[in-house]
Amino acid sequence: MMHSVEHTKSFAMAVPIARLFPLFSPEGEKLWVPEWDYENVMGHTELAEDYVFLTRTHDHRAGEAVWVVKRYEPEAHLVEFYKVEPGDKVGTIRVRCTLLEPDRTEVEVTYRYQALSATGEAFVAGFTAGAYSEFIGEWQTLLERHFASGS
């Protein structure tokens, strides 16, 4: 039987939503995630639904992954990605930003993984709420560092 796991976590940032939301894109992540890079297969960087890009190594012990923008609603500050790791697992990642005050934004991040193999099953079994909380805590730390640096 193939297993799945899903976790959601939120955090608030003292940053206007218009400055924060664009960072949750392939180009935006280059600004705040150390060593983040991707392969642009579309020939442009304008994010839209069905936009496809590749990563070689990234979060959650991934090797090569194909990312596809599932849903992109910039006016609602919502983006969802499929992250396909052939033979291992498929992830769905959703980031929603909510305006709390003019200079304060809540970021809600949901990761859902579906195992495709024994390797994926082992990953799903170890992707606990505690591990996820630590992972998203790192997002907040990296984003705070990015904005503190004056970027």
Tell which wins on pLDDT, 109 or 60.
109
> 104, 151, 149, 113: which is closest to 131 by C-alpha?
113
| Residue pLDDT, tens place only, 105-135 | 999 999 999 999 999 999 999 999 999 999 9
Instruction: Compute the Cα dihedral for 76, 39, 5, 127 and give only its sign.
Output: negative
pLDDT score, position 36:
87
What domains are there in the chain, each with its CATH number? 4-148 (3.30.530.20)
pTM for the complete prediction? Answer: 0.93
CB-hemisphere CA count at 13 Å for 135? 17
| Secondary structure of residue 24 in the 3-state scheme | coil
